[in-house]
Amino acid sequence: MYSTGFYKNKAKNIREFCRLLVEEHDGVIPDEIEPLTKLPGIGRKTANVVLQELYRKAAGIVVDTHVMRLSRLLGLTEHKDAVKVERDLIAKVHKRYWLNWSLYLIFLGRKHCTARKRICTGCPLNDICPSSEVQPPKSGRKNSK
């Protein structure tokens, strides 16, 4: 069995989260990003997941390591910081896709663009992906002598 990393700090955050949730929010999880991110242990990624899953609200885009990696490969960002990646994605992705954007990239990453090996052949984005390893067909006529 493996120990959970930083378990003392996590336990402290959970206790404080529960206390504040009851005292300041009457036991109801906030439905806005600002009050959520003020709760202990809740960053933007977790707040976005909570808003999406509990309230079907898109206040931003969930950015985890997979979304960050694929967003860089697709040329949607150059950043490695999740907040900056989210800012870039918000500017480039239409809001109607925010709820599912991270899932789209996660599924793409599982099937075609894994961290260990990219399988560009058959990827639905290989025609537009700047990182595609599939060579585009050569255009033009053959020279005949």
Query: What domains, with CATH codes, occur in the chain?
Result: 12-59 (1.10.340.30), 60-125 (1.10.1670.10)
| Cα 46–Cα 110–Cα 137 angle in degrees, nearest 5 | 125
Over residues 121-141, the pLDDT tens digits come to 989 998 999 999 887 666 555
| CA 144 to chain CA mean position, Å | 51
Over residues 57-85, the pLDDT tens digits come to 999 999 999 999 999 999 999 999 999 99
Could you tell me the two tokens for 50? 């909570």
Residue tagged active-site, from 10, 12, 31, 45: 45
Active site annotation includes 45: yes
Residue tagged active-site, from 64, 84, 142, 145: 64
Mean pLDDT score of the chain: 91
